[in-house]
């Protein structure tokens, strides 16, 4: 595939966001993307898991509307859809991210 399909922000459902976040691996991905504040490749995230597992989790993050993935050559650049989600569900992602801080 050239580029990956994502839901529009209108299609995003709160329950899917919560579901996507309710997994330690995916939460870790989201937290790292938020901390990075920029697009990261799966490789850069380096969560020490097989590629197929990471791909699975990214698929869920994408379908929930949390992550946007742009294909760039052989790499896939992933970014949090923070602003969009904040606009649709103010405070949800922000407070969750804040809650994960040490």
Partner DNA sequence: TCCAATGTTCGAATATAATCGAACATTGGA
Partner DNA sequence: TCCAATGTTCGATTATATTCGAACATTGGA
Distance of CA 98 to the CA centre of its chain: 16
The option from its own copies, DNA, none interacting with 94 (CB < 5 to 8 A, set by class) reads: its own copies
Residue from 8, 10, 15, 52 in contact with DNA (CB under 7 A) = 52
C-alpha 86/C-alpha 96 separation (Å) is 11
The option from DNA, its own copies, none interacting with 63 (CB < 5 to 8 A, set by class) reads: none
Residue 1 binds DNA, judged by CB under 7 A: yes
Collapsing DSSP to helix, strand or coil, 71 comes out as strand
Tokens representing 77? 């650049």
Q: Which residues pair with 77 in a beta bridge?
A: 41, 70
Sequence-ordered list of residues with C-beta below 8 angstroms from that of 51, at least 6 positions apart, any chain: 42
C-alpha 10/C-alpha 69 separation (Å) is 18
> Which residues of this chain interact with its own copies, rule CB under 8 A?
14-15, 18-19, 21-24, 27, 88-92, 94-96, 98-100
The option from DNA, its own copies, none interacting with 96 (CB < 5 to 8 A, set by class) reads: its own copies
Interface positions with DNA (CB under 7 A): 1-2, 4, 19, 23, 25, 41-43, 49-60, 69, 71, 73-76
């Amino acid at each position: 595939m050239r580029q990956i399909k994502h839901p529009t922000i209108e299609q995003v459902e709160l329950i899917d966001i919560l579901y996507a976040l309710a997994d330690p691996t995916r939460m870790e991905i989201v937290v790292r993307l938020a901390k990075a504040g920029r697009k990261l490749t799966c490789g850069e995230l380096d969560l020490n898991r097989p590629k197929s597992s990471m791909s699975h989790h990214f698929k869920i993050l994408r379908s929930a509307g949390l992550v946007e993935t742009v294909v760039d050559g052989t790499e896939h650049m992933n970014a949090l859809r923070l602003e969009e989600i904040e606009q649709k569900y103010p405070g949800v992602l922000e407070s969750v991210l804040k809650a994960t801080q040490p």
